[in-house]
Structure 1
Amino acid sequence: MRTIIEDLAGEAEQQIRDRVWDVAAVDRAIAAKAAGDLSTAVGPPHVQEALPVIDRLARLREALAALALSLAHVHGRLAWFLGAACTALTPVLHWRALAAEDGPTFGAVQATAQQYEDAEHAVRRLCAALTHITTG
């Protein structure tokens, strides 16, 4: 997840630097709101790691929801970027924080601490890329 988001962010930043992507004012506004929402959802590592797993998962899902809502309001390159970011974060939707208690889980699995760290880092990197888009 971290590598995919890093590659996406790098590609977006490169397209802006190379003037392949001329970010419209409306896209800047949506990117700024998305960046703010991501920052609110997933805080610094020391804050996230101190949270119970169920809260960490809820915040990651909140970040994914914020991306999906932003995606619903754009077209073109920003939509492609946000869509790819949502796709990269979809494993979060299959994670569970509660014990299965020997019942079916609809395919949900418990994520490792490393997977949480990876996903949270990916969200922070997306936030930085979206901030770059707003100033690009």
Structure 2
Amino acid sequence: MNMRRIVAVLAEEAEQQVRSRVWQLEPDDRALALETEAGLRDAVGPPNVQEALPQIKRLEHLRETLAVLAISLARTHGRLAWFLSGALNALEPVLRWRALQIDHGTSFGTVLPKPEDYTEAEDAVRQLQHALTQITAEPG
């Protein structure tokens, strides 16, 4: 699935742009990025907490992260929007996941993810949290 790899590339690009001052976050973008990081942190907790949850709850939490990212994306433009768009794109497979078995009929193209898929997506969200923290750090 490579969510972690995609997010790592996004994070590195964002951090590089901030370090080289190509991307200078305005106060409103900094506040939105911090708000987004907090929303992601609220949705997906530490590995030991997430892994103890039933898969249906893990999927709910991952869907919440997509909502956090989408709402933040709707509230900004420019580089922060591009970064958030890339994050949403990386986590896009979550949109096709389901946690319930199908009795009969079709499931609208959804799939049952493996436990390691949940872990990968949650790790990618934590990487996003870290990246948002890094890019919003005051330059020093």
Which TM bucket (shorter chain)? over 0.9
By how many angstroms is 1:134 displaced? 1.7
Structure 1 vs Structure 2: percent identity of aligned residues?
A: 57
Distance 1:12 1:99 in 2: 39
Aligned length: 136
- Report the counterpart of residue 111 of structure 1 in structure 2: 113
- Note the C-alpha offset of 1:103: 2.0
Matches of 2:133 and 2:6 in 1, distance apart?
18
Q: Equivalents in 2 of 1:100, 1:109: separation in Å?
A: 10
| Equivalent residue number for residue 132 of structure 1 | 134
Q: Deviations over 1:71-98 (max 9, x none)?
A: 0010000000000110111100000000
Q: Show structure 2 runs of 5+ residues with no match.
A: none
Measure, in 1, the Cα distance between the counterparts of 2:4 and 2:73.
20
Q: Which residue identity lines up with residue 54 of structure 2 in the other structure?
A: P
**Separation in 1 of the partners of 2:9 and 2:27?**
24
- Shift in Å at residue 102 of structure 1? 2.6
Match of 1:90 in 2: 92
Question: Higher relative CO (CA 8 A, sep ≥ 6), structure 1 or 2?
Answer: 1
Taking structure 1 as the reference length, the TM-score comes to 0.98
Name the counterpart of 1:42: 44
1:7 is matched with 9
TM-score by length of 2: 0.95
What's the C-alpha RMSD, in Å, of the aligned pairs? 0.7
One-letter amino acid of the counterpart of residue 134, structure 2: H
Residue type at the aligned position of 1:86: L
